[in-house]
Structure 1
């Protein structure tokens, strides 16, 4: 497996892909056609070397990813808006107040709200819940672990709850299509529907994995750094959130670059949770994901670097773990699951513009990989060499 630098996000009836400064959003319109919007995005780390410092770049990337993700969701949902719905009084007043800058201001407010909601739901709520047990648990370490377990349970419960929504199910199917397409390219296979279909729907560089490791590293940080005052505890957690996000970013970045068995094992918890946020896509969804990749990445040149000639590439059926082949009967079951889930979703779902809550979740879902571009990084290279040398001993 070779890292391509491609990453993306599932949007409403489509997929957004990013490679370096190129962005493409491919959406399946109500009439069945695929609409593609191309754009460019140059992050702060590319403009100023200071923001490319390890840990700090993860903090910056998190905010940038939310911004790009919100824009992609807004674009994709525009194809499914009801034209005859008049603007609300709030929308009218907001547009009158900010005029030409209304969209930009709304985007900033939405990103800020997303960050505050994430911190409130997954940092402060578990903190308050864990303090309820303080009278029963004397050990500060055990209390911090209890808080971490509550945080993880809350996250998994939240994912399970929203996964019952029909439109979210389709987003998760597009999420699977995005992962399968990237896996196909990074394993050196020709980018066709047939080849993509049999790839794993889990991927190391996923926003879901990022969230899992944010929760995991928060346990370590909050266990090691202790204060007695309850107010200072809460303030400390808020101050450490950006640092934890930066550390989690570096871990996901290293995992995506490394083929070592150690990193493969350490990546498993995040990939297990991806089983909740990815579903098997149908061929139409795979076509959308392929179209998005082709707009930002020369996959033919990349595949030739594996095998010399594209015609020589003979793909293997891939299972849950990217290096393991899937049995024939398992592949057949996957195809049946694709057809059943898609047919059920189409019958039950009335296509409407998603609510702010759904857009908020989707924006946090899978954008991080788009910013994990392949570049020279001495720190990560040294860590990768360390893990590989340790395995050979």
Structure 2
């Protein structure tokens, strides 16, 4: 709900609407004609800046609302006095003679003063007197103050319920309902038509009824802290505190009209419940009067257009902010996705690299093992070849030696047959053959060691057998060296 800044008051067969320094009274006369009077009221806050401060502005507003209310009630009542042709009373004639043109203002002031005195007596002094009768039963001063406040609220509710049964007051409460509905229609953004107004609520947080209830509630809090033994002094202090209490209550009502928080709505609810007694459902004629009163001081069409433009701007701004947040979120999500993808790629690359490193290490190890195996095979094969070559060389040497020995033996045998020499001659012939056929160092060394050959028997006379024994000795010696 957008606050419009306008307020109103029900009068006799009409509605008063106020917007800033202007106010208008619309009254339906007995002939069904609607009369509108527009006036200006300059607040004292324009002259005295102190009344623009919190609390002080509430005190001034309370007094000025009473003044304007008295004026509007007097204006609305004047139409019906003319219709009924009521003759002025002696008091009115006396005031007219004394105050002349100001007589009406003086009478209004006296009426307002009497109303204030009655209100103070009924709602301030009477509850305190009743609570004072309970001092012998209730010893707690705080509890007595709370009881006093409850009595005050009960008296106010009873008073409102009683006067609502009066026919004229009941019709005034119907106009009060028309006033609330009309203001709610504007502030909720609807065009000011009878049909739109009828659908609105009769409750409003800035209502005077809620203000009076808050005054009574705040008074309980203030009066708790008044600790004065003299009863008359306690009453004086309470009366003097009324403007301050009204100022504090005004600040709350002003806040409630601009705030939709849950706490404010809860605190405003009791006063809005009380409006069920001070407002009634209006008829179409009453709604028309309230609409004309509003239109006299307030351009509701411009108000609605301005609010629609603000609402659309706010919506577009919120939409832009939302879209920007969404875009930022999408960008952030994209960035996060990209970063996550990059991280995944990096992790994958790391894993691949690790796998490659592991594979490379394994390959290197395998290659090393393979090389070791190959080198071992090569070494083994090389050793085998070397051993084979060595064996072949030894065999060739042995074969050569065998051939040489066989040739020597053959030659010796033939020579022995021819010469018929004995064994000593054959040995000499053997020495001569050795000189004719020299052998290598190993054979010579082996021959030099024949003396220790276990295979040679000195008794054997056959040279061939001795030659074979020498060969076997040399072969076994070569195997031992390998």
TM-score range, shorter chain: 0.7 to 0.9
1:101-112 matches, cutoff 5 A: 101-112=102-113
TM-score if structure 2 supplies the norm length?
A: 0.63
Give the 3-state SS of the residue equivalent to 2:5 in structure 1. coil
Query: Do the aligned partners of residues 283 and 51 (structure 1) sit closer, same or farther apart at CA in structure 2, a change above 3 Å counting?
Result: same
The equivalent residue for 1:24 is 24
Aligned partners of 2:80, 2:260: CA distance in 1, in Å?
41
Q: Does 1:65 align with 2:65?
A: yes
1:36-47 matches, cutoff 5 A: 36-47=36-47
1:68-147 matches, cutoff 5 A: 68-81=68-81, 82-147=83-148
Q: Deviations 1:130-184 (Å, cap 9, x if unpaired)?
A: 1011111000011000100100000000001101101111100000000000001
Report how far residue 308 of structure 1 moved: 4.2
Aligned partners of 1:113, 1:230: CA distance in 2, in Å?
23
Aligned partners of 1:307, 1:53: CA distance in 2, in Å?
32
CA-based RMSD of the aligned residues comes to: 1.3
Aligned partners of 1:108, 1:53: CA distance in 2, in Å?
26
- Structure with the larger RCO, 1 or 2 (CA within 8 Å, 6+ apart): 1
Aligned partners of 2:47, 2:199: CA distance in 1, in Å?
39
Report how far residue 64 of structure 1 moved: 0.9
Which deviates more from structure 2 when the two are superposed, residues 29-38 or residues 51-60? 51-60
1:297-316 matches, cutoff 5 A: 297-308=298-309
Aligned partners of 1:83, 1:180: CA distance in 2, in Å?
31
Structure 1 segments of 4 or more deviating over 6 A? none
Aligned partners of 2:139, 2:217: CA distance in 1, in Å?
22
Q: Deviations 1:244-265 (Å, cap 9, x if unpaired)?
A: 1110011101101112222111
The equivalent residue for 2:472 is none
Report how far residue 47 of structure 1 moved: 2.7
Q: Give yes or no for contact 2:226–2:234 (8 Å, CA) kept in 1.
A: no
User: Aligned pairs, how many?
Assistant: 309
Give the 3-state SS of the residue equivalent to 2:241 in structure 1. helix
Aligned partners of 2:41, 2:113: CA distance in 1, in Å?
20
Q: Which runs of 5+ in 1 are unaligned?
A: 310-393
Instruction: Select the structure of larger CA radius of gyration.
Output: 2
The equivalent residue for 2:6 is 6
Report how far residue 56 of structure 1 moved: 1.2
1:211-360 matches, cutoff 5 A: 211-308=212-309
Aligned partners of 1:287, 1:300: CA distance in 2, in Å?
17
Q: Deviations 1:58-79 (Å, cap 9, x if unpaired)?
A: 1111111111101101111111
Higher relative helix content: 2
Report how far residue 305 of structure 1 moved: 2.2
Q: Which runs of 5+ in 2 are unaligned?
A: 311-482
